[in-house]
Structure 1
């Protein structure tokens, strides 16, 4: 028996495809945090278990959703992800195995319409399928993870992830995630200078495009390397500004 948990906020462009891909599950839980578009209405077309709450950060929010799950197994999905029929079949078989508490699933992400195979984006294993009683989410406000107490194995079929649909969405996510990342680093008592921000941006580009062969993904690989570099640069630049502002408060 499987519960699917999804957290949302203004995901009307993605949530319908996500929910349609898991209609075979025994329970679907959507936890929304103040959507102003049609996310909630679309979600209610697929499940009655749609809840609305505030936003405490990714980890705490997914833990809230987990606490609403009632079945033995839990699948955590993001609103821009989908489950293929092949992965559905593999998961249903995997959940019959005894002694296994969770499964990593590879994630195949698309960037502006192209599935990315290089630049560190593939196979991108994520722990998303786990026994409810043995798993919990970290309390990180960004880049949260599932912590499972027990044996964890790997599946072969990927989650399909529409990471970025167009350049505007790329810019929006760079701004959002760099802010969250800077706040996380500040809480970890890390510091940054302008030189460090520039250096981190350059290193991120080199790692993504050259060392991890992002150039093999063509134009989208270059675009991805640039956006990754921008995200890293702005994260450390914002960290620098947080420290400057704290000195004046």
Structure 2
């Protein structure tokens, strides 16, 4: 099969979207073979006008795209409606709960969850279609994710391959209710794909720091709710361990300044999470 061609028994349809991510060869392919499971793509959004076109354009081949927005005030909704008529509002209930809601709205049992700052590479689109053609033996599939950071694709540190369970049969799966770092739980076996999701997470260092600050608020609260405490040694040893793991064990040292920056920022994330956990414990003591 040549790049951009449909598989046997499928009819090509032209779709809108960002050309580099449409399909191999630049021609999107939406598959209509009745015996092949159809796939719904779900995307949750909030003020993602700068990302939503590229994200949805990269899945123009899908049978359905469902966007659940939690109150965008930019033109995210207008842009999303250029790609799909399945755009709705749902008050924010947390990452996992929001994605679970979007999954329930999907028309098809096989679901691909995509974040607004991610893109499905043409190679991954082809691999997903190939897996679904062959009567999937698993209830879900992990997909490697590669992040572009300050102009460089990161192929080291904790950021790669950074497997994400994103393709799943919703009859056998549900999202966790974790407020941060949500995940899909599958009842049954899980397979692994080889092609990457492309992740465009941070515009610059300031954006990265702001994201860390926001996520560590949620992560510290989750640790507190789980009964975890932060000792002084945790503030020293856990960030140091994170740096060693990222920079040495996971080979961040091989990617120059980018590898060093990612390793340091991942270490900072761990430090800030446990520092905030101690802060929360102090507040609770003061309230007694």
TM-score normalised by length of structure 2: 0.83
Q: Which residue is 2:229 aligned to?
A: 191
Quote the RMSD (CA, aligned, Å): 1.4
Moved more, 188-197 or 214-223: 188-197
> Does residue 204 of structure 2 align to residue 166 of structure 1?
yes
> Does residue 43 of structure 2 align to residue 6 of structure 1?
yes
Q: Which residue is 1:35 aligned to?
A: 72
> Does residue 271 of structure 2 align to residue 229 of structure 1?
no
Q: How far is 1:136 from its partner?
A: 1.0
The correspondence for 1:213, drawn from 241, 251, 260, is 251
Secondary structure, counterpart of 1:25 in structure 2: coil
Q: How far is 1:196 from its partner?
A: 2.2
Secondary structure, counterpart of 2:126 in structure 1: helix
The correspondence for 2:81, drawn from 35, 44, 48, is 44
Q: For the residues of structure 2 that align with 1:175 and 1:57, how far apart are their CA atoms?
A: 17
The correspondence for 2:156, drawn from 111, 118, 126, is 118
Secondary structure, counterpart of 2:201 in structure 1: strand
The correspondence for 2:132, drawn from 85, 92, 95, is 95
Runs of 4+, deviation exceeding 3 Å: none
Q: For the residues of structure 2 that align with 1:21 and 1:63, how far apart are their CA atoms?
A: 22
Deviations 1:171-216 (A, max 9, x none): 1111011111101100111111444223322221122112221111
Greater relative CO, 1 or 2 (CA 8 Å, sep 6+):
1
Q: For the residues of structure 2 that align with 1:151 and 1:203, how far apart are their CA atoms?
A: 32
Deviations 1:62-81 (A, max 9, x none): 11111101112100011111
Contact persistence 1:108–1:121 (CA under 8 A) = yes
> Does residue 116 of structure 2 align to residue 79 of structure 1?
yes
Q: Which residue is 1:248 aligned to?
A: 286
Number of equivalences: 249
Q: How far is 1:59 from its partner?
A: 0.9
Q: How far is 1:121 from its partner?
A: 1.8
List gaps (5 residues or longer) in structure 2: 1-37
Secondary structure, counterpart of 1:164 in structure 2: coil
By percentage of residues, which structure has more strand?
1
Q: For the residues of structure 1 that align with 2:232 and 2:208, how far apart are their CA atoms?
A: 23
The correspondence for 1:181, drawn from 210, 219, 226, is 219
Contact persistence 1:204–1:229 (CA under 8 A) = yes
> Does residue 61 of structure 2 align to residue 24 of structure 1?
yes
Q: For the residues of structure 1 that align with 2:263 and 2:77, how far apart are their CA atoms?
A: 34
The correspondence for 2:147, drawn from 82, 105, 109, is 109
Q: For the residues of structure 2 that align with 1:182 and 1:49, how far apart are their CA atoms?
A: 35
Q: For the residues of structure 2 that align with 1:198 and 1:227, how far apart are their CA atoms?
A: 15
Deviations 1:80-134 (A, max 9, x none): 1111221111111101222332211111111122111111222222111111211
Q: Which has the larger radius of gyration?
A: 2
List gaps (5 residues or longer) in structure 1: none
